[in-house]
Amino acid sequence: MQLIDGKLISEQIKAEIAQQVKQMTAEGKRPPHLAAILVGHDGGSETYVANKVRSCAQVGFQSTLIRYEADVTEAELLGRIAELNADDDVDGFIVQLPLPKHIDDQHIIQAIDPSKDVDGFHPVNIGKMMLGLPCFVSATPAGIMQLLRRYDIKTSGKHCVIIGRSNIVGKPMSMLMIQKTLPGDATVTVCHSRTSNLPEIVRQGDIVIAAIGSPEFVTADMVKEGAVVIDVGTTRVPDPASPRGWRLKGDVKFDEVAPKCSYISPVPGGVGPMTIVSLLTNTLQAATQRNR
Amino acid sequence: MQLIDGKLISEQIKAEIAQQVKQMTAEGKRPPHLAAILVGHDGGSETYVANKVRSCAQVGFQSTLIRYEADVTEAELLGRIAELNADDDVDGFIVQLPLPKHIDDQHIIQAIDPSKDVDGFHPVNIGKMMLGLPCFVSATPAGIMQLLRRYDIKTSGKHCVIIGRSNIVGKPMSMLMIQKTLPGDATVTVCHSRTSNLPEIVRQGDIVIAAIGSPEFVTADMVKEGAVVIDVGTTRVPDPASPRGWRLKGDVKFDEVAPKCSYISPVPGGVGPMTIVSLLTNTLQAATQRNR
């Protein structure tokens, strides 16, 4: 069994990005610039955005954090998005989700210029991903593809079983894994809460991607000997021993599943660290495409 | 075994659309208007477009056929598309594919205003379909969904196996069948040329959608007793007995597969007649959304 070390890979990729930024600035170009809009003071969102800003600094990107109180109007946000779309000094930007209930996520997402949509949430980017055209792929699926690539995991002709059908993981992963490109070229099954014989189906998976958000859902009896298991779950469970009072639990019962696997990604330290790297990669790509 | 009669259902839906058009015109509104751009003189394309124009007439739509010779430039086509986008008298339009090699399909498709893209090929419509948002769904997948709906075929929790991963059938069908809406809510597997144990996987299908373009590929031994089989194949095979010299063959070996099925769609007369109906339905929807 080999551990898929997302922390290690993410550090490697960050170093590669930092190197490219150095080269850009050596050529007299300005570094890539990511802007992030944060609405309100949700604890999770604060942490995520702070991590993104810190990661930008690590690789030499410029970053701008734009804050609004939770009572900001949709019109105000849309106005700011229009400014960012038009701002030649901004290569890409994100609006941290979730947004307050009075704001329609899709109004906001669809207002972002797709060429600056480094979160890959705009329907145009999602549609292009499905068609196999160049686009920004969202953070988690892009991070998983990167892990498969860096560990040189064979996917062509393999049966990839995805548990979960969310818009941000299950659906895009299924579309990426059936493309003719590598990693990909796999037979893909998507199962979910309504699947009648789920364990039987998951047992067929040469590659299992668990993304249901149900802690330790995948047990040893559901996994084929030699399978590759990617755990996308990140549920916070109470843990008095932790200074934060909680710890992250994945969708896979790691201790019993790991011995059966050829490769397995842990939680934390697997897919998680890759998501910010995907955002950095997309921002670098946006900056490069803007031909500065 | 019940035959899924696409010809019958398509006639029913056309009658329903004609009824709605009558009501629109009775209210003093003009009927829906579909425009079609046809480039060159490809035999198949001529037939398809002629059928679309004739179907428009059948339901009381206005239609406009715009012809270009095969040496038209991309710029000329883009210019005409811009005019159609701006033309308030046109509710929806299509550009018949394939286009000559010197024209980039995606440049053309992405130039169409998504609100007039009744073929549902624009990445925005594809992305919205994947997200489960209102959109135009392309003809073949929409037609299959309509057949499942009209025959009240149970899909929730069923295992739907799709053979083929094309952009116009396999991929969109997989996304439609995993949505939480009905028909849908199914466990979905997409298999294709690289799938290692294809017959074994297809045998698991409660619903099998064959869309590989390989005549009589699906044989009786590959189909579970009681399965629903939808045949999307339309390969022209030589037939001296036919006045045209050819006839259509599906992807399913009908005679031996049919006795095992609860429902099966034939070729011809199954999915085929539904595709034009989907285009009419989308055009009616476009006209309605334009709030005339």
Reported ipTM: the value is 0.96
Contact B121, A130 (CB under 8 A): no
Half-sphere exposure of B228 (CA within 13 A, CB side): 18
The pLDDT score that the predictor gives to residue B291 is: 67
Contacts (Cβ under 8 Å, ≥6 apart) of A77:
A37, A39, A68, A95, A103, A108
User: Rounded to the nearest 10 degrees, how much is the dihedral formed by the CA atoms of A169, A170, A172, A175?
Assistant: 150
Joined together, the tokens standing for residue A12 give: 């490697």
Dihedrals phi, psi of A247, to nearest 5 degrees: -140, 165
Residue A255: Cβ within 10 Å count: 9
Cα B101 from Cα B72, distance rounded (Å)? 11
Q: Is B23 buried (19+), middle (13-18) or exposed (0-12) by CB count in 10 A? A: exposed
Residue carrying structure tokens 């299950």:
A170
Cα A136 from Cα A284, distance rounded (Å)? 11
The pLDDT score that the predictor gives to residue A263 is: 98
Question: Which helix (DSSP H) or strand (DSSP E) does residue A122 occupy?
Answer: none
> Is A119 one of the annotated active-site residues of the chain?
yes
In sign, the C-alpha dihedral spanning B202, B205, B208, B211 is negative
Nearest by Cα to A182 from B168, B127, B194, B105: B194
Cis amide linkage into residue A273, ω under 30° from 0: no
- Fold of the CATH domain B139-274: Rossmann fold (3.40.50)
Strand partners, B228: B207, B263
- Mean pLDDT, each 10-residue run in order, chain A (292 residues): 98 98 95 98 93 97 98 98 98 97 97 98 98 97 98 98 98 98 97 96 98 97 98 94 93 98 98 97 96 62
Q: What's the DSSP call for residue A218?
A: B
CATH number of A26-114: 3.40.50.10860
> Is B52 one of the annotated active-site residues of the chain?
yes
The pLDDT score that the predictor gives to residue B78 is: 98
The pLDDT score that the predictor gives to residue A290 is: 86
Residue carrying structure tokens 């019958």:
B8
Cis amide linkage into residue A123, ω under 30° from 0: no
Cα A97 from Cα A225, distance rounded (Å)? 38
Nearest by Cα to B253 from B224, B221, B228: B221
Instruction: List alpha helices for A154-259, DSSP H.
Output: 170-178, 198-202, 254-257
Which of A109, A112, A130 best tests the B interface by mutation, with the highest count of B CBs <10 A? A130
- Cβ of A130 within 8 Å of Cβ of B126? The answer is yes
Contact A176, A39 (CB under 8 A): no
The shortest C-alpha distance from A165 to chain B (Å) reads 7
Cα B43 from Cα B45, distance rounded (Å)? 6
Interstrand relation of B62-68 and B33-39 (parallel, antiparallel or unpaired): parallel
The shortest C-alpha distance from B183 to chain A (Å) reads 13
The pLDDT score that the predictor gives to residue B13 is: 98
CATH architecture group of domain B30-113: 3-Layer(aba) Sandwich (3.40)
**Catalytic member of B52, B116, B249, B253:** B52
Low-confidence ranges of chain B (pLDDT < 50): none
Which of A178, A193, A200 best tests the B interface by mutation, with the highest count of B CBs <10 A? A178
Under CATH, to which class is A139-273 assigned?
Answer: alpha beta
Contact A215, A253 (CB under 8 A): no
Nearest by Cα to A52 from A12, A84, A95: A95
Q: Is it true that A26-114 and A139-273 share their CATH fold? A: yes
Length of chain A: 292
> Is A113 one of the annotated active-site residues of the chain?
no
- Cβ of B187 within 8 Å of Cβ of A196? The answer is yes
What ranges make up the beta strands (E) of A40-195?
Answer: 62-68, 92-95, 159-163, 187-191
Strand partners, A49: none
CB pairs under 8 A between A and B: 115
Half-sphere exposure of A252 (CA within 13 A, CB side): 31
Chain B residue with CA closest to A165: the answer is B178
The shortest C-alpha distance from A117 to chain B (Å) reads 14
Ranges of each domain in chain A: 26-114, 139-273
The pLDDT score that the predictor gives to residue B30 is: 95
Residue B49: Cβ within 10 Å count: 19
**Catalytic member of A5, A62, A91, A96:** A96
In sign, the C-alpha dihedral spanning A136, A141, A145, A147 is positive
3-state secondary structure of A253: coil
The pLDDT score that the predictor gives to residue B241 is: 93
> Which residues of B fall within a CB distance of 8 Å from A165?
178
